[in-house]
């Protein structure tokens, strides 16, 4: 979910203008929006048992963009914390040059903060675009917490507080360890049932404290992508092979997990688990004949990692559109699910955000147009996310030619998502 930059910068709210300052009770508060937002933040949560490859994934995700040979004519990826970025790149270089995998961060919860900085625009483009920078908070939940009970009340409270930091994520990746799946060949259900059971129990342990004050949660990850890590171990598989195996061996366990999550949130129909699948691989690992120790790691042969940014930024918008077409989605839920949808869709469609601001300023609590705007405006922007094929490619090429870097980046993200579906790397809810 997008979050206001003031939350993360320490600035007073008056110093930062959000994209859609809507109060929790509806379209009733529109402060001065003379300055459009400059930064949007997206969150993604990554869950997986110890050894499932979380540290390798984030190191490869970031490290590839830091190589001198890496070229991107639209944006640059920067680690907001210099020391954290250096450690990730060190991990990457260790894999690339010495075939050395990074050490696991046992029992440590880590949030990796990245900024996607757009290239400088030309003329009025840079001034008029809704934001200049997309921030990604990658939340890494300790795998040991799935498997081990807390050793003290202090640790239990720490786990609860850690989970609260993940609630702002629209999307969560739940990793299925490809190596363990391979180790359980012929009895894959034993491993899969264990994964889903352990995760469900971890949720049960934090459910009470999370819901104790206000009841079911409005803000909670609602898109759960079951992701096969170390997918390079299965060169003949596509995402449908993985999906079929998981459904065949663990459909009941997925349903139990869905029920547990549904019991924690408002509007449980707006929840996707067991409907989105993807393949993930940080690199191609060549192993020694007599052990699992790598002798060569080819970081250029990776799968799915280039989808992280498109998934974090566009998939919530796609899903919000889909769910609003299928059900009456309460505004308080829609407002937290892809709560920057208006800005992103406007940027994709090439709508001038200054005009959008003027429209919002005319809507007040007593304005009869408020309900109409709340209903029609999202539908109008929904058209942007539904553009596919030649038209989408044309929009991307036009944006690149005109140096409209924000629009070019977002349309490229959409192209990448659509291509991943076509190539059977990613399968999403239909």
Query: In angstroms, rounded to a whole number, what is the distance separating the alpha carbons of residues 234 and 424?
Result: 14
Residue in the structure block whose two tokens are 């007073």: 12
Crossing angle (nearest 10°) for helices 308-326 and 369-385: 130
End-to-end CA distance of the chain: 21
Tell me if 211 sits within 8 A of 164, measured CB to CB.
no
The secondary element (H helix, E strand) that includes residue 276 is strand 272-279
Task: List, in sequence order, every residue forming a beta bridge with 175; answer none if it has no partner.
Answer: 227
Work out the pLDDT band at 108, boundaries 50, 70, 90: low
Buried b (16+ CB within 10 A) or exposed e, 133-143: bbbbbbbbbbb
Cα dist from 362 to 28, 174, 214, 294, whole Å:
11, 43, 33, 62
Task: Give the percent of the chain with pLDDT over 90.
Answer: 44
Asked whether residue 406 carries a pLDDT value surpassing 80, the answer given is yes
State residue 11's pLDDT score.
32
State residue 384's pLDDT score.
73
- Lookup: tokens for 389: 């094929």
Tell me if 207 sits within 8 A of 199, measured CB to CB.
no
- Lookup: tokens for 157: 């409270």
Is this prediction's pTM over 0.85? no
Cα dist from 205 to 80, 139, 151, 279, whole Å:
32, 19, 13, 29
- Lookup: tokens for 10: 């320490």
Q: pLDDT of 132-156, one tens digit each? A: 788 999 998 877 777 777 777 887 7
Residue 159, Cβ neighbours under 10 Å: how many? 19
Query: In angstroms, rounded to a whole number, what is the distance separating the alpha carbons of residues 222 and 394?
Result: 32
Q: Where are the alpha helices (DSSP H) in 264-404?
A: 308-326, 331-336, 341-349, 353-362, 369-385, 389-401
Work out the pLDDT band at 387, boundaries 50, 70, 90: confident
What is the mean predicted confidence (pLDDT) over 313-327? 87
């Amino acid at each position: 979910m997008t979050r206001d930059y003031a939350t993360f910068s320490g600035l007073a709210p008056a110093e930062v203008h959000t994209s859609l300052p809507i109060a929790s009770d509806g379209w009733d508060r529109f402060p001065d929006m003379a300055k459009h937002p400059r930064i949007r933040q997206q969150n993604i949560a990554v869950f997986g048992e110890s050894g499932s490859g979380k540290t390798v994934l984030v190191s490869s995700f970031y490290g590839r963009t830091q190589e001198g040979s890496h070229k991107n004519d639209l944006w640059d990826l920067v680690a907001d914390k210099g020391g954290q970025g250096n450690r990730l790149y060190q991990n990457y270089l260790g894999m690339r040059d010495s075939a050395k995998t990074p050490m696991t961060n046992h029992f440590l919860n880590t949030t990796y903060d990245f900024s996607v900085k757009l290239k400088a625009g030309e003329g009025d483009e840079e001034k008029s675009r809704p934001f200049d920078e997309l921030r990604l908070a990658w939340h890494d939940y300790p795998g040991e917490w799935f498997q081990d009970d807390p050793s003290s009340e202090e640790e239990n409270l720490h786990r609860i507080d850690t989970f609260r930091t993940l609630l702002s994520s629209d999307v969560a990746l739940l990793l299925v360890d490809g190596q363990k799946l391979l180790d359980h060949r012929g009895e894959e259900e034993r491993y899969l049932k264990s994964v889903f059971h352990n995760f469900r129990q971890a949720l049960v342990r934090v459910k009470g404290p999370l819901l104790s004050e206000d009841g079911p949660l409005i803000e909670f990850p609602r898109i759960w992508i079951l992701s096969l890590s170390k997918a390079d171990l299965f060169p003949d598989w596509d995402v449908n092979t993985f999906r079929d195996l998981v459904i065949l061996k663990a459909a009941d366990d997925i349903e139990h997990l869905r029920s547990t999550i549904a019991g924690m949130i408002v509007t449980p129909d707006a929840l996707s688990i067991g409907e989105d699948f993807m393949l993930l691989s940080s690199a191609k690992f060549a192993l020694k004949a007599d052990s699992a120790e790598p002798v060569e790691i080819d970081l250029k042969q990776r799968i799915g990692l280039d989808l992280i940014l498109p998934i974090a930024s566009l998939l919530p918008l796609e899903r919000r559109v889909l769910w609003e077409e299928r059900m009456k989605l309460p505004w308080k839920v829609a407002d937290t699910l892809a709560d920057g949808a208006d800005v992103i869709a406007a940027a994709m469609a090439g709508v001038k955000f200054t005009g959008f601001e003027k429209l919002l300023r005319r809507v007040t609590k007593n304005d009869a147009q408020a309900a109409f705007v709340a209903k029609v405006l999202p539908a109008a922007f929904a058209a942007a996310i539904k553009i596919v094929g030649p038209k989408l490619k044309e929009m991307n090429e036009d944006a690149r030619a005109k140096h409209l870097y924000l629009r070019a980046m977002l349309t490229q993200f959409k192209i990448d998502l659509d291509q991943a579906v076509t190539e059977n790397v990613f399968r999403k809810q239909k």
